[in-house]
Amino acid sequence: MRTGSITRKTEETDIAVSVNLDGTGTYKIETGIGFLDHMIEQFSRHSLIDIECRVRGDLHVDQHHTTEDSAIALGQAIAQALGDKKGITRYGHTYSPMDEALCRVALDISGRPVLVWKAAFTQPRLGEMDTELFEHWFASISQAAGITLHIESLYGSNNHHIVEGIYKGFARAMRQAIAIDPRKADAVPSTKGILGSGSLEG
């Protein structure tokens, strides 16, 4: 089993995250932000990554630190579980429809963290969560896990549907990318033989 576990405590947040990349999509999520819990649950269910995520954050200030640090810890746990990335498919992409909304996600577990974000919202909050924080969550997980990540909302009118489509699309693309390719299960999917931070080729 490919598993990872991260504990992270600062003056702003106290976090414990564990993942199993070869799971069945079971989850226990407690961030203190209901809508963020719902989205991480969607990510777990549709990626088949088992996730436990407990966050105690300074929500009396705002949601920024809790949102950012949950993504950092989750990304670090995923990176830990991937190890040297031997045998992974590496790339994933999906079109994700959610009722009237359609989103596109493409990613490369390359060790080179990049987020290209093309999504906008017409309301400042969903539930109690600030919509501006969704881009920041994906930037943080991209950075921590070393993922090149392209996210685009192609169309849609309901903000909830757009965000949920993005998270489900990310989940499905990750499910593809972390899968072991049986034809190359003993090899890192790079001509350099390594996938890590700072790689400029591969």
The pLDDT score that the predictor gives to residue 30 is 98
Q: Is residue 202 part of a domain?
A: no
Instruction: Kindly report the CATH number assigned to the domain that includes residue 86.
Output: 3.30.230.40
- Indicate the SS3 state at residue 122: coil
The pLDDT score that the predictor gives to residue 1 is 83
Domain count, the chain: 1
**Tokens of residue 121, six digits:** 């919202």
Q: Is residue 70 part of a domain?
A: yes
The pLDDT score that the predictor gives to residue 185 is 65
Task: Provide the domain limits for residue 118.
Answer: 3-184
Tell me the backbone φ, ψ of residue 132, rounded to 5 degrees: -65, -15
Q: Which residue has tokens 């991480």?
A: 40
Q: Do residues 50 and 23 lie in contact, with contact meaning Cβ atoms separated by under 8 Å?
A: yes
The pLDDT score that the predictor gives to residue 126 is 96
Q: Do residues 49 and 150 lie in contact, with contact meaning Cβ atoms separated by under 8 Å?
A: no
Cα 30 to Cα 95: distance, rounded to the nearest angstrom: 28
Q: Is residue 189 part of a domain?
A: no
Over the range 153-184, which residues count as b (16 or more CB within 10 Å of their CB) and which as e? Answer: beebeebbbbbbbbbbbbbbbbbbbbbeeeee
Tens of pLDDT, residue by residue, the chain (202 residues): 899 999 999 999 999 999 999 999 999 999 999 999 999 999 999 999 999 999 999 999 999 999 999 999 999 999 999 999 999 999 999 999 999 999 999 999 999 999 999 999 999 999 999 999 999 999 999 999 999 999 999 999 999 999 999 999 999 999 999 999 988 767 665 545 556 654 444 4
Q: Is residue 199 part of a domain?
A: no
The pLDDT score that the predictor gives to residue 186 is 76
> Measuring CA to CA, which residue among 134, 131, 197, 130 is closest to residue 166?
134
